[in-house]
Copies of this chain bind each other. A is one copy, B any other.
Amino acid sequence: MARIAPVNAKGTRDFLPRELVRRNRVFSLLRETFEHHGYEPLETPAVENSAVLEGKYGEEGDRLLFRILKRGESLQKAARTLETQDRDTSPSAASLSRALSDEALRYDLTVPFARVIAAHQNELVLPFRRYQMQPVWRAERPQRGRYREFYQCDVDCVGSRSLTLDAEMVAIHYEVFSKLGFVDFVTRINHRGLLRSLMALGEVPEAKRTETMTAMDKLDKIGPSGVRRELIRLELGEASTDRIMELIDFAGTPETVLARLEDALMGSSDGLAAVADLREVFEYVSLMGVPADKVKFDASLVRGLGYYTGPIFETVLTGSQLGSLGGGGRYDQLIGQFTGRDLPCVGISFGIDRVFDALAEQKLEDEYTTTTTQALVTVFSRETLAASLAAARELRSLGIRTETSADPKDLGAQLRFADKKGIPLVVILGPDEIAAGAVVLRDLRSGTQSTVPSREAADRALTILTGGETDRH
């Protein structure tokens, strides 16, 4: 038989139960939290028409798309067209891609969301709160902790300009990260309008704004002196540099910093409107029960340079090098590319792989649960099989996730099997037990075991699994 190498495609992963059980627990927690706040699930297909995706993620993004090759006659036609083209210049990868493909895998969840809103405008009731947890594909060079196929998790609300929604995003981040067990984290909050007015007040020329903001964004990592060095390198002039450094480096509570900024921004209506927005957001965040030390106004937060138009957020672990666990902001213009009319939007995402890295770093992973299965019922022989199958049915009738040994084996082998898989409870039915109308319940976590009458076995198993005591025999 010709053997095929069982190798994963580059940058992709298999999730075996041991890891998936842990991941699914986190996904459930996210799902529950989102639904708790009235967010509904949405799923879009992996495959999108290229026209939907192209141009949304810059040239880099277009290059990194996983494109679907045309098939059959349309592939042959595309190939013939390429052949008849000028042979002196070799066609670019971009033009080859466009000729040979017209579909691609989704690159993020935001653009498909925008398409859905446009396509289903009449069915959806606005404002529409939705969450989406699905894989995305990017052909980046694989490296440690970076994959080509990975999950994104987005929470967005479309159809309202109310800043309660911006605050709700921060509250959801807070709730998820606290429930996951993180303690030292904070959500940094800023506003794109404020950034725009800072650029104006700092008299940063249009051509240097992107680089200036990129430098500012590093305040968290390289400190004020580092940012100053980068601004000097950009040759903004001393006055501009001083002004920017002054504006982004106020310390204090959001109230005091925003008040000082307000003074500094006198005359910039954009800037003042942004400060007013931020005040509202901080007020609502507090009303929603987020502790004051879990949010922070941060004038240096930039959050990419994409489609954001209003408040922006980013949650970081303080005292960790892992960086951002997720972030988001208000983007009131993206949907318009599909609908022809702008629709206000605000959203937040979770960096799923980063969150798993962080859970490991902070030793918050559940190391003990490595399988969904709770009980193994042993099988000794063909003759005792009926009793084992009956016992398994009893356990399942109480909701205990139970497997029966597939093949009769000696007890040692069956115990080792349960132990290797991490199944906590083994229900032992040997010929002696069956003759005595009893079963042995062995708790592999504690190493204790007890013999109980068959008819009580399921109840006792449930007690053991839900934290009750086992008698030692």
**Chain A interface residues toward B at CB < 8 A:** 1-9, 12-18, 20-21, 24, 35-49, 51-52, 63-64, 66-69, 71-73, 75-76, 79-80, 82-83, 87, 90-93, 96-97, 100-101, 103, 105, 114-120, 123-125, 127, 129-130, 135, 137, 139, 148-149, 157, 159-162, 164-165, 168, 284, 287-289, 336-340, 371-373, 376, 379, 385-386, 389-390, 393, 396, 399, 401-404, 406-407, 417, 420-421
Q: Are B47 and A16 in contact (CB under 8 A)?
A: no
Contact present for B63 and A72 (CB under 8 Å) = yes
Given contacts A40-B17, A385-B287, contact A160 B406 (CB under 8 A): yes
Determine the distance from Cα of A284 to Cα of B385 in the docked complex, in whole angstroms: 9
Check B79 against A3 for contact (C-beta < 8 Å): no
Known contacts A51-B4, A149-B45; A66/B63 CB under 8 A: no
Is A79 in contact with B66, judged by CB distance below 8 angstroms? no
CB-contact partner of A124 in B16, B36, B139, under 8 A: B16
Q: In whole angstroms, what is the CA distance A120 to B161 when docked? A: 50
Is the pair A165, B45 in contact by a Cβ cutoff of 8 Å? no
Report whether A406 and B127 are in contact in the complex, using a CB–CB cutoff of 8 Å.
Answer: yes
Q: Are A130 and B17 in contact (CB under 8 A)?
A: yes
Closest CB in chain B relative to A123 CB, distance in Å: 7
A72 to B44: give the CA distance in the assembly, Å: 28
The listed residue (B17, B67, B160, B406) touching A69 by CB distance below 8 A is B67
Distance in Å from the Cβ of A122 to the closest Cβ of chain B?
A: 12
- Docked pose: A421 CA to B124 CA in angstroms: 9
- Are the C-beta atoms of B403 and A289 separated by less than 8 Å? no
Q: CB < 8 Å: which of B7, B76, B125 contacts A93?
A: B76
Known contacts A68-B67, A125-B421: does B373 contact A35 (CB below 8 Å)? yes
Is A46 a contact partner of B135 (Cβ separation < 8 A)?
yes
Q: Knowing A15-B42, A69-B69 touch, does A6 contact B373 (C-beta < 8 A)? A: no
Extra contacts, 18 of them, besides A3-B340, A20-B43 (Cβ < 8 A), are A3-B337, A6-B338, A8-B45, A8-B119, A9-B48, A14-B120, A36-B396, A37-B401, A38-B401, A66-B68, A68-B69, A71-B139, A73-B93, A76-B91, A80-B90, A127-B407, A160-B406, A160-B407
Q: Are A7 and B389 touching (Cβ within 8 A)?
A: no
Q: Provide the bound-state CA to CA distance between A45 and B20, in Å.
A: 13
Bound together, the chains give a CA A379 to CA B168 distance in angstroms of 15
Contacts of A168 in B (CB 8 A): 404
A41 and B24 contacting across the interface, CB-CB below 8 Å: yes
A-B contact pairs, 11 of them (CB 8 A): A1-B340, A3-B338, A4-B51, A4-B338, A8-B119, A17-B130, A38-B403, A41-B372, A46-B135, A47-B137, A63-B71
Known: A389-B287, A406-B160. A20 touches B42 (CB 8 A): yes
- Neighbouring B residues of A284 by C-beta, 8 Å: 385, 389
Q: Which of B44, B45, B402 contacts A38 (CB 8 A)?
A: B402
In contact, B47 and A149 (Cβ under 8 angstroms):
yes
In the bound complex, how far is the Cα of B171 from the Cα of A4, in angstroms? 34
Q: Separation in Å of the A167 CB from the closest CB of chain B?
A: 9
A-B interface, 10 closest residue pairs, ranked by CB to CB distance from nearest = A38-B403, A12-B45, A17-B40, A6-B118, A160-B406, A6-B119, A15-B43, A67-B69, A6-B115, A9-B47
CA–CA, A379 and B338, complex, Å: 31
Most chain B Cβ neighbours within 10 Å, of A82, A93, A379: A93
A75: which B residues are within 8 A, CB to CB? 93, 96-97
Distance A160 CA – B371 CA, assembled complex (angstroms): 20
A6-B52, A47-B149, A96-B75 known; A41-B21 Cβ under 8 A: yes
